[in-house]
Structure 1
Amino acid sequence: RIGQIVAGKRSITADTDLRLCRFFGLSNGYWLRAQAAYDTEIAEDALEDQLKNIRPWNSGSGIGHRA
């Protein structure tokens, strides 16, 4: 399992996080947060052009509001 994670062939799961945190004396969730940060960075790189085309929602734009 660890070899696959290190090789980038497998992601950290809650099960693996709990085991690694116990072994290294870390707070539960440490490795899951690191995995989420890594996944987000990869997604940002992959979606860079598409994300540039998304306009943020403006709550004052009138969408869903009645006059």
Structure 2
Amino acid sequence: MSHSDSSQHPGTVLRKRFMVPYGLDSDRLAADLGVPANRLEDVLAGQRSITADLALRLGRYFGTAPLYWMNLQSRFDLHVTGTVMADDIAREVRPFQKRVA
């Protein structure tokens, strides 16, 4: 997984790395996965996260580890949250300091 993947929504990765190369459209993929088309469209549009259920379905379909899809989502979430919350976290959280006995 490249560093740039962490700043891309998993739906973008799904489209670019899997759907486009295999010539899949969202209706076919949704039907093959057994999920509602609007659910998949929301993921592809970056408006919905990859859930454990969808990760398992994508893993089975593409022969990938479900953890691949969950990691894409986690990395994206950390990137977005870290970007938005970095200053607040730096100001509010006092790092743990081990006390020497």
Distance, in Å, in 2 between the alignment partners of 1:55 and 1:5 is 36
Percentage identity across aligned positions? 35
The aligned residue for residue 12 of structure 1 is 50
Partner letter of residue 49 of structure 1? D
Of residues 58, 71, 80 in structure 2, which corresponds to 1:42? 80
Q: Which runs of 4+ in 1 moved over 4 A?
A: none
Partner letter of residue 20 of structure 1? L
**Pairing 1:22–2:60 present:** yes
Give the deviation of 1:61 after TM superposition.
7.1
* Bigger Rg over Cα: 1
Q: Number of paired residues?
A: 62
More helix by share: 2
The aligned residue for residue 57 of structure 1 is 96
Moved more, 31-40 or 48-57: 48-57
Q: TM-score under structure 2 normalisation? A: 0.56
Q: TM-score under structure 1 normalisation? A: 0.81
1:6-35 C-alpha deviation (Å, 9 max, x unpaired)? 111110001000000111110121101110
What runs of 5+ residues in structure 2 fail to find an aligned partner? 1-38
- What is the aligned-residue RMSD (CA, Å)? 1.6
